């Protein structure tokens, strides 16, 4: 069910505290409550430097969902968009918020002439896997993540 009262818009600087709280909510859901070490100041400065973009879902002026994404490049395919975080307040799930946010993210990638979008999903996150399959996403299992922390 899609709720027409929900508004999807580009995030603004003043939305960062609400976005940050949703990132913390996502970390808790993903069983990593202490994993968020970036500060709000880091979010603010990197947002101003255009390191990342965001769209928010609002209902009655309240932010109830968000995406965080950035431009990237596939050496094999070309321009792509990477979805770093995607979260809907649990109190507002089942209203079509996630679908609207995800489709808006896809539309943004198409507008920027991306040839693909990428993201990660945890193998145990059945609701997310079900959602992405509904959205006709291909879930790849061949590639492993590499990481170096500084």
pLDDT at 147: 87
**DSSP one-letter string for 123-141:** TT-HHHHHHHHHTT-----
Name the pLDDT band for 143 (thresholds 50, 70, 90). Answer: confident
Residue with tokens 């390191």: 51
Instruction: Summarize pLDDT for 72-88 with one digit per residue, the tens.
Output: 999 999 999 999 999 99
Instruction: Summarize pLDDT for 19-69 with one digit per residue, the tens.
Output: 999 999 999 999 998 999 999 999 999 999 999 999 999 999 999 999 999
Ordered by where they begin, the domains of the chain are 7-134 (3.40.630.30)
Gap between the Cα atoms of 62 and 30, Å rounded: 24
pLDDT at 46: 98
């Amino acid at each position: 069910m899609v709720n027409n009262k929900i508004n999807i818009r580009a995030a603004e600087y003043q939305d960062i505290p609400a976005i940050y709280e949703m990132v913390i909510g996502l970390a808790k859901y993903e069983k990593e409550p202490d994993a968020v070490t970036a500060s709000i100041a880091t979010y603010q400065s990197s947002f101003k430097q255009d390191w990342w973009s965001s769209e928010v879902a609002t209902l009655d002026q309240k932010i109830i969902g968000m995406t965080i994404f950035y431009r990237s490049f596939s050496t094999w395919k070309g321009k792509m968009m990477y979805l770093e975080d995607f979260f809907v307040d649990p109190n507002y799930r089942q209203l079509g918020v996630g679908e609207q946010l995800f489709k808006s993210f896809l539309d943004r990638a198409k507008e920027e002439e991306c040839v693909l979008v990428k993201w990660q999903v945890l193998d145990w996150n059945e609701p997310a896997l079900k959602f992405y399959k509904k959205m006709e996403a291909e879930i790849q299992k061949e590639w492993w993540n590499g990481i170096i922390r500084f």
